[in-house]
Amino acid sequence: MSVTVLFSIFFFLVILGSPIAICLGVATFTTMMLFTDISPIEVSSLMFEKVEHYSLMAIPMFILAGNLLSKGSAATRIIEFAKSIVGHLPGGLPISAIFASIIFAAVSGSSPATVVAIGSIMFGAIMQAGYPKKYAVGTIATAGSLGILIPPSIVLIVFGVTAEVSIGRLFMAGVVPGIMLGIMMMVVTYIGAVRLGFKRTEPAPFKVRLKAMKDASWGLMTIVIVIGGIYGGIFTPTEAAAVAAVWAFIVSVFIYKDINFSQMFNVSLESAKTTAMIMFIIANAMLFAHFLTIENIPQGITNALIEANVDKYMFLIMVNVLLIIAGSFMEPSAIIMIMVPLLLPVAIALGIDPIHFGIVVTINMELGMVSPPVGLNLFVTSGLTGMSIKDVIVAAFPWTMTIFVGLMLVTYIPSIALWLPNLMYGGG
């Protein structure tokens, strides 16, 4: 009965259009007041306890680092570097946008930030080069979704905290699938450009490429510091976030000189607002998950599926369908906080590695970012380009299906995700 009331209130508020954090919080608080003897003070205490996690400290620092670099010229420098490497190919500019998105995703850790930073610069350039508007829009909308898979990823941090698994392993597990998806999208873009009649041009001279790499190197060092530091065991992912924030500050203020001290207040305020929003969602989602746990819902689902003789492949199909649908309506962090406590026990019982499961979940979140009706990247791209949501959805479809194919590969070939973390940390 209590669970029925919980989900009834939750979906009622979702239908009304309430923010997801409010839906989660109000539904859980009301149900706890009706069906448990927990006091309101204990509920608020539980919320604070749930966000007092060391690994969550990485979120505000990665957000600050991403904002510092995205507000300055780092994105432009990365784009110029990408153009010098792949700009001569048929579809060179759209491919450069994807390549730049891969790099900037690794710098910012955010999907919408990647779309805004790369799209605001590259959309006009792609159009001026004679590419169809839908072609330009499709590449930008979908390439930005790589921001939640390639480390440092806030979504992977949230999964690691929720599932209580190594965030370092998760970061490493996201590298190969992220690069693979990026390459697959570049190939689709190349084939499309060839069909549209675009020809190969003269590649940039080595000196030009070297200069572009040198100009972008300070921003690119963020990736080296974060990934290399974690690889080398120099610091934890949370410590890496702190180092990344300090490095981004030095690069933006003292090296690139894009941001002065007077602008730091606005950048910090924007980062604080984003952090507060994410933390509020996490606190309410963790409370929601806590109630489900004390009601033994995860255990019940696990037992029911095992008794029904559902194998891991059928389970993964069910998970993919469920998460793609959920990702179309909800924010990734909230989905993870709600779904992972329910699904992970089943996955482990069926012999699925939790790290592999985390990457499958995250790629599903990528698809959700570009899936109708409310995929966030669709709205961001629509705002940037002036196209209707319907037209953006149609334009992004070939690249969305590319991500779907990548999801199937990662789902049923676990080694794609697990090879690198097993190599770095042992296991497998």
Phi, psi values for residue 97, rounded to 5°: -65, -40
State the pLDDT at residue 373. 65
The answer to whether residue 27 sits within a structural domain is no
Residue 261 contacts residue 253 (beta carbons within 8 Å): yes
pLDDT surpasses 80 at 53: no
pTM, full prediction: 0.81
State the pLDDT at residue 260. 83
The answer to whether residue 65 sits within a structural domain is yes
Residues 74 and 390: their CA atoms lie apart, in Å, by 32
State the pLDDT at residue 109. 63
The answer to whether residue 389 sits within a structural domain is yes
The tokens of 412 are what?
């049923």
pLDDT surpasses 80 at 184: yes
Residue 399 contacts residue 142 (beta carbons within 8 Å): yes
The answer to whether residue 11 sits within a structural domain is no
Residues 336 and 427: their CA atoms lie apart, in Å, by 25
Phi, psi values for residue 388, rounded to 5°: -70, 160
Instruction: Look at the chain and report how many structural domains it folds into.
Output: 1
The answer to whether residue 218 sits within a structural domain is yes
- Terminal Cα-to-Cα distance of the chain (whole angstroms): 42
State the pLDDT at residue 428. 56
Please write the tens of the pLDDT for every residue from 75-132: 778 878 888 888 788 878 888 888 888 777 776 666 766 777 777 777 777 787 788 8
Average pLDDT of the chain to the nearest whole number: 82
Q: Which domain holds residue 393?
A: 38-425
Three-state SS across 112-180? HHHHHHHHHHHHHHHHHCCCCHHHHHHHHHHHHHHHHCCCCCHHHHHHHHHHCCCHHHHHHHHHHHHHH
Please write the tens of the pLDDT for every residue from 283-293: 887 788 778 77
State the pLDDT at residue 409. 95
Residue keyed to tokens 């995700």: 417
The answer to whether residue 28 sits within a structural domain is no
Quickly state the pLDDT bin for 3 (edges 50, 70, 90). confident
Q: Percent of the chain, pLDDT > 90?
A: 10
State the pLDDT at residue 414. 94
pLDDT surpasses 80 at 70: no
Counts for the chain of helices (H) and strands (E), in that order: 20, 0
Residues 287 and 28: their CA atoms lie apart, in Å, by 7
304-316: average pLDDT = 81
Query: Minimum mean pLDDT among 52-56, 107-111, 307-311: which range?
Result: 107-111
| Geometric angle at alpha carbon 238, from 258 and 334, rounded to 5° | 90
The tokens of 89 are what?
């190919």
Residues 260 and 151: their CA atoms lie apart, in Å, by 28
State the pLDDT at residue 352. 92
pLDDT surpasses 60 at 312: yes
Residue 185 buriedness (CB in 10 A; 0-12 / 13-18 / 19+): buried
Residues 15 and 292: their CA atoms lie apart, in Å, by 21
Please write the tens of the pLDDT for every residue from 364-421: 988 887 877 667 777 777 877 778 878 888 888 888 899 999 999 999 999 999 999 9
pLDDT surpasses 70 at 144: yes
Phi, psi values for residue 350, rounded to 5°: -90, 5
What b/e readout covers 73-100, taking b as 16+ CB neighbours within 10 angstroms?
bbbbbbbbbbbbbbbbbbbbbbbbbbbb
Residues 74 and 233: their CA atoms lie apart, in Å, by 27
pLDDT surpasses 70 at 74: yes
pLDDT surpasses 90 at 354: yes
Quickly state the pLDDT bin for 177 (edges 50, 70, 90). very high
Residue 370 contacts residue 363 (beta carbons within 8 Å): no
Of 292 and 157, the structure prediction assigns the larger pLDDT to 157
Phi, psi values for residue 78, rounded to 5°: -65, -40
123-145: average pLDDT = 79
The answer to whether residue 2 sits within a structural domain is no
Enumerate the H helices of 370-414 as residue ranges: 376-385, 389-412
Residues 333 and 339: their CA atoms lie apart, in Å, by 10
